[in-house]
A and B are shown apart, each in its own frame.
Chain A
Amino acid sequence: MMKWVFTGLIFLSVIFGILTGRVREVSSAAMKESSNAINLIISLMGSICLWSGIMKIAEDSKLTGKISNLLYPITKFIFKGLKKDSKALKTISMNMTANLMGLGNAATPLGIKAMKELEDEEKSSSTATKNMITFVVLNTASIQLVPTTIAFIRQKYNAVSPLDILPAILITSMVSVISGLLVIKIFSCFKSKDK
């Protein structure tokens, strides 16, 4: 699917570039943005290493297991077929905790790790399993209790009360996540052999 996103965006940018007379900008963006990606990964690498290290401590001291047990009543409904002491489920729980607290930088490395553990545990080859898809969708629809970044920016532009939008954000996130999960449910019903 991502191949269509990749080629689609580039194809559209060539078409629109010609139509709007901005071919030169498109061309220089291709060069500039590819090196921007490397700059981004260099700055991300530090926080990925930091959180991977911290989480390894949490894992070895059995802290992640405790958080995983705490979230188990919720996660067992969302992720089917994973054992309670599964490594992937523990990392998923840590990722969800980081997301809820609005720690995007911590959530990403944990999410990537959880994907690799899901891959090992569910023995997927080149096809995404239902649990993988569910996990990615949970992460694309941000679920956070305190949207710190948004509140900070709203404060910067002198909002009377920066967090007055919190109930609206929570409702919107919930409805959006549930609709994503519903689509997964519908799609997986079509395939009876689905894991």
Chain B
Amino acid sequence: MWTFSDLIIPLIISGILIYGLYRGIDVFNIFIKGAKQGIGISLKIVAPLVALITSVGMFKASGGLDVISNALEPIGRLLFLPTELIPLAILRPISGSGALVIFENILKDFGPDSFVGRVASVMQGSTETTFYTIAVYYGATKVIKTRYTLAASLTADIVGFIISGISVYFLLGS
């Protein structure tokens, strides 16, 4: 059994290859040339990844997440956000795999069609692992001063979290 979404990646890869052949390109050698650049890119992001994943891992192990979640509970209540979603909102920008575990637990405990399950789905789908993206994207350049990058992306995240509760409330009901 497969669905249309499984077909997207094979279609894109084969489509680009066929188009390349049609334009008379030596697709194999060009592929190798591009893939070699990929090795360089991967090596450049090793160091920022180690820094970020280590610090996030230490934070998760320290139990700090629970303490901060409890502290933020009253604010969450003001914003239509059920308290169960606070840990997801905190972890989402810093750890993709950590957020995924919390997300799956919420769906398991409350069901995907509950209000909590739906808001969690919207949160998960409308934001990215912000810190990872910033570390990896700038890690490949020589940029040291990222200026207001973090301020702008965290604003987008926080607004996203708030709107996720409100949009589910108005579009799908509580």
Contacts and interface: CB of A to CB of B under 8 A. Distances in A.
A and B from one complex: yes
A169 B128 CA distance: 12
Contacts of A167: 167, 171
Contacts of A12: 59, 62, 64
Contact of A139 (B62, B122, B133, B151): B133
Q: B interface, how many residues as a size bin? A: 35 or more
Contact of A16 (B8, B52, B64, B125): B64
B152 A137 contact: yes
A56 interface: yes
Given A41-B45, A56-B33, A187-B148, A175 B163 contact: yes
Given A29-B57, A38-B50, A140-B133, A52 B62 contact: no
A109 B55 CA distance: 23
A80 to B, nearest CB: 16
A71 interface: no
Main secondary structure of the interface of B (DSSP, over half): helix
A49 B125 contact: no
Given A45-B42, A63-B19, A54 B147 contact: no
Interface in B27-66: 27, 30-39, 41-42, 44-46, 48-64
A34 B61 CA distance: 13
Contact of A154 (B8, B39, B112, B153): B112
Contacts of A62: 23
A20 B62 contact: yes
Contacts of B49: 37, 40-41
Contacts of A82: none
Interface string A25-59: 11011101110111011001100111111111111
Contact of A1 (B16, B103, B146): B146
A128 B147 contact: yes
A86 interface: no
Given A112-B140, A172-B122, A158 B151 contact: no
Closest 9 CB pairs of A and B: A56-B34, A33-B57, A180-B156, A52-B38, A176-B160, A16-B64, A49-B38, A29-B61, A53-B35
Interface of B: 5, 8-9, 12-13, 16-17, 19-20, 22-23, 25, 27, 30-39, 41-42, 44-46, 48-64, 67, 93-94, 103-104, 107-108, 111-113, 117-118, 121-122, 124-131, 133-138, 140-153, 155-157, 159-160, 163-164, 167-168, 171-172
22 contacts: A2-B48, A2-B150, A17-B62, A32-B57, A36-B57, A45-B39, A56-B34, A61-B16, A102-B8, A103-B9, A112-B140, A115-B138, A119-B143, A126-B144, A127-B143, A132-B149, A136-B153, A141-B153, A154-B107, A157-B107, A172-B160, A187-B152
